[in-house]
Amino acid sequence: MAALLEVRELCVDYPRPDGTVRAVDRVSLHVHAGEVVALVGESGCGKSTLGLALLSLVPSPGRITAGRVLLAGEDLLALPERELRRKRGAGIAWVPQETGDALNPVLTVGAQVAEVLRAHRPLDREEARREAVRALARVGIPDPERRARQYPHEYSGGMKQRALLAMALAAGPRMLVADEPTTALDVTLQAGILDLLRRLAGQEDLGVLLVTHDLGVVAALCDRVLVMYAGRVVEEGPVDALFAAPLHPYTEGLLAGVPRPGIPRGRLPAIPGQVPDLAHLPPGCAFAPRCSRATDRCRDRVPVLEPAGEGRAVACLEAPPSREGVR
């Protein structure tokens, strides 16, 4: 079955006086309809840039320098701006993070949802109002008639995040890109929002790419994981297999930071060092300076992502050979 979203060899550069930052370096990925794919990695690895690039929304002076983004087979990057604007929302939608300023404080939440609806469909005021109430109900906002008439400051953080999700869904997209949608929320609210995304994917056949730096939160809710380091995907695979036996030392390091029952968090080693400055990457594997398994050849050669069996892939010269003997 063809993927809903297919990204091929995507590159995004930010020019800087001291050199070019390649924030996304030849990234390929796919998301099927009904699938929730997590994109994880430390801060500064290029996750947000990749997410934005999927909607062609990379902030200036950033630029997509290579690659293709296919939504249901259609190359979004080749569309004229007007077509692209229509696709944004109706084809692929961005779920912003609820940081306090994502909603307009002087409009009711219902009016804001209605505005998005009317931008994409020929609805009169009353129809749009009714549809907005329905949109709020769909994302689990209780008493949506009353809630639609309220202003953002009358909403809790979790309810505001749900309202933002309602707006992202308003134009009927097939694919959602959510960039750390729950980071500002407490654990219970996070679980509620992620559950909702999971349910929407399953019931409405949405594809979801969920950007997060928290492997633990998404473990139970995502189908597959992409691990990004220094602008590249270094490992990918089904959540269960990847969690049970990570192949890349970086994935191993990320997982070591996830608290598990019976193991006190403080006993787990964190990954030493920091994400490198992407304008001045070390030679060879970008993770080598922080990697306990690195050898001389790691500092010499950039490893490419190679199939590792069972829908998995890894970019590491020292990764254990796969059982299928693919590598």
Task: Give the shortest CB-22-to-ligand ADP separation in angstroms.
Answer: 9
Nearer to ligand ADP, 44 or 67 (CB): 44
The binder of 44, among ligand ADP, Mg ion, none, by C-beta within 5 to 8 A per type, is ligand ADP
Please state, in angstroms and rounded to a whole number, the distance separating the CA atoms of residues 278 and 267: 31
The binder of 298, among ligand ADP, Mg ion, none, by C-beta within 5 to 8 A per type, is none
Nearer to Mg ion, 42 or 115 (CB): 42
Radius of gyration for the alpha carbons in the chain, expressed in angstroms and rounded: 21
Q: Tell me: does residue 190 bind Mg ion (CB under 5 A).
A: no
Please state, in angstroms and rounded to a whole number, the distance separating the CA atoms of residues 248 and 251: 5
Distance between alpha carbon 184 and the CA centroid of its chain, in Å?
Answer: 16
Task: Give the shortest CB-248-to-ligand ADP separation in angstroms.
Answer: 16
Task: Give the shortest CB-213-to-Mg ion separation in angstroms.
Answer: 8
Nearer to Mg ion, 29 or 117 (CB): 29
> Which of 167, 134, 174, 136 has its CA nearest to residue 54?
174
What is 42-68 written as a DSSP string? -TTSSHHHHHHHHTT-PPTT-EEEEEE
Nearer to Mg ion, 48 or 108 (CB): 48
Query: Contacts with Mg ion: how many residues (CB under 5 A)?
Result: 1
Q: Tell me: does residue 48 bind Mg ion (CB under 5 A).
A: yes
Q: Tell me: does residue 161 bind Mg ion (CB under 5 A).
A: no
Binding segment toward Mg ion, per CB under 5 A, in 46-54, 117-125, 139-147, 222-230: 46-54
Nearer to Mg ion, 42 or 252 (CB): 42
Tell me the backbone φ, ψ of residue 41, rounded to 5 degrees. Answer: 150, 160
The binder of 110, among Mg ion, ligand ADP, none, by C-beta within 5 to 8 A per type, is none
Binding segment toward Mg ion, per CB under 5 A, in 47-55, 63-71, 221-229, 271-279: 47-55
- Report the b/e string of 212-228 with b at 16+ CB within 10 A: bbbbebbbebbbbbbbb
What is 103-160 written as a DSSP string? S-TTS-HHHHHHHHHHHHS---HHHHHHHHHHHHHHTT-SSHHHHHTS-GGGS-HHHH
The binder of 152, among ligand ADP, Mg ion, none, by C-beta within 5 to 8 A per type, is none
Q: Which residues bind ligand ADP (CB under 6 A)?
A: 14, 21, 23, 41, 43-49, 59, 62, 278
Nearer to ligand ADP, 46 or 249 (CB): 46
Amino acid sitting at position 260: R
Task: Give the shortest CB-154-to-ligand ADP separation in angstroms.
Answer: 31
Nearer to Mg ion, 7 or 316 (CB): 7
Please state, in angstroms and rounded to a whole number, the distance separating the CA atoms of residues 85 and 70: 15
Closest residue to Mg ion using C-beta atoms: 48
Task: Give the shortest CB-283-to-Mg ion separation in angstroms.
Answer: 26
For 43, residues 6+ apart whose C-beta sits below 8 A from its C-beta are 213, 275
Give the E-state strand segments of the chain in sequence order.
5-16, 19-31, 36-40, 63-71, 74-75, 92-95, 175-179, 207-211, 224-229, 232-238, 306-309, 312-314
Nearer to ligand ADP, 57 or 219 (CB): 57
Token pair 């994400």 is at which residue?
275
Task: Give the shortest CB-227-to-ligand ADP separation in angstroms.
Answer: 11
Which residues would be at the binding site for Mg ion (CB under 5 A)?
Answer: 48
